[in-house]
Structure 1
Amino acid sequence: MASFTHHPVPPRLLPLLAQFDFATRRLLDRLAAGLRDSGNGSPVPETALTDAEYLWEPVPGCWSVRPRAAGPGPRATVLTGAGDFGRDATPAPHPVPPPFTTLAWRLSHLTELLTLRADHTAGSRSLTRDDVVVPGDAAGAVAAFTAAAAAWRAALVAADDAALDTVGHSAYPYGSDPQDPFLRTVWWVNQEVLHHGAEIALLRDLYRHRYRGPVESSSPS
């Protein structure tokens, strides 16, 4: 287990840390039952993510999270991750146009990148995609994302001011991290959580209003 030296959070990191906290909190609020902030302070009721919604494929040919025994989905060649489920993927070059990805795929992707970046910044620096368990259910996926976000945040607050300028402070092997100053990696992770979080929120809205057959007219005959 990594040991962290306690020190004040560098001033340059504070706004990015606040942005990360905001993005993760907004996403988790969109996935849990209860009242969430609409964005202007007014409460909006939310329902908990269900397994059916987690695995919903809104269009044909989606990439998703699948039982390993079922094999990869359309245009995928492997199921990444550990456990009984895996996430559709293929080595480069990737399909063009890219497949539409489900809520499960996007949430698993976020969990993986946070888990691995935390490990390759303040952990063993040895984990690979094959070590990250891919949950096949909604509750497990939300719990995994929560843990991954906490691990990455711990790695962030452990970084001192010099680390922010250190190239390769994050040795995450599936991106440009080894060639980038750590501050750039922090910014990049934030935009990943923000844009995938927004996609996940939109998928929740689409699922809630999905087509269920002809709408019956309420007009008198």
Structure 2
Amino acid sequence: MAVPPRLAPLLEQFDFARERLTNRMAGPFVDSGNGTDVGVVPMTDEEYLWEPVPGCWSVRRRTDGPGPRATLLTGTGEWGRDAAPAPHPVPPPFTTIAWRLSHLGELLALRADHTNGGHALTRDDYTVSGDAASAIKAFDTGAGAWREALLTADDAALDTVGHSTYPHGGDPEDPFLDTVWWVNQELLHHGAEIALLRDLYRYRASHRAS
């Protein structure tokens, strides 16, 4: 099926942001923005779990329980992601790379299921990763599933309210094209946050060494 003209630029943006974030985390290179490759040291587990300030939300072993101001650990498996039911803490907790990457992987995987899958997956079904390599792989899997869901959307689907039934956003009340736009901005802004945290971690390490 041909990609609808209205979807094409959003799909291109998604592909670019996905590749840029993946390369920024896993290397070996990332495009500097002007076509020049910049070397990237793959993210370590220590960096993935680094808490830059006190009171961070992160992913944690279930045996350790939730972090400060969190009341539960979402997901399934040995690890879970800090969370709390609404109303959420104010001001919002600072979140680690692990938290942000888990959040991205989950929203992509669940939205894919709630668009052209079984419309049944919940946060309790998402496996939270306790190490960087697994988290990057899970993000890539979720991004691939979401891309496949986009490729099934025709013009009628783009205008359909609730084409995505993902329950943790405005999807059931929004035309699908608005949902596609929203997912892109989630990827772009969380990707930028992860990149900045990588820069801060590297600077901290080099400054401490000197």
- TM-score with structure 2 setting the length: 0.98
What letter matches 1:123 in structure 2?
G
Distance 1:126 1:51 in 2: 31
SS at match of 1:112: helix
Structure 2: distance between partners of 1:150 and 1:215 = 39
Gaps of 5+ in 2: none
Residue number among 42, 46, 50 corresponding to 2:44 in the alignment:
50
Alignment of 1:1-221 (within 5 A): 7-210=1-204
- Which amino acid letter does the alignment assign opposite residue 172 of structure 2? P
More helix, by proportion: 2
Q: How many residues align?
A: 210
Distance across 2 between alignment mates of 1:90 and 1:133: 18
Distance 1:215 1:105, change over 3 A: closer
Rounded Cα–Cα distance in structure 2 between residues aligned with 1:43 and 1:87 = 33
Task: Report the CA distance between 1:33 and its aligned residue.
Answer: 2.8
Q: Distance in 1 between matches of 2:69 and 2:114?
A: 30
CA distance in 2, matches of 1:132, 1:211: 32
SS of the residue 1:79 aligns to: strand
Supply the AA of the counterpart residue of 2:142.
Answer: A
Identity %: 70
CA change 1:213–1:192 in 2 (3 A) is closer
Q: Displacement, 1:35? A: 1.9
Deviation at 1:32, TM superposition (A): 1.1
- Displacement of 1:67: 0.3
Instruction: Measure how far apart 1:214 and its partner are.
Output: 6.7
Query: CA RMSD of the aligned region, Å?
Result: 1.2
- Partners in 2 of 1:29 and 1:214 — Cα distance? 26
Change in Cα spacing, 1:215 to 1:82, as seen in structure 2 (3 Å) is closer
TM-score normalized by structure 1? 0.93
Structure number, greater radius of gyration: 1
- Structure 1: gaps of 5 or more residues: 1-6, 217-221
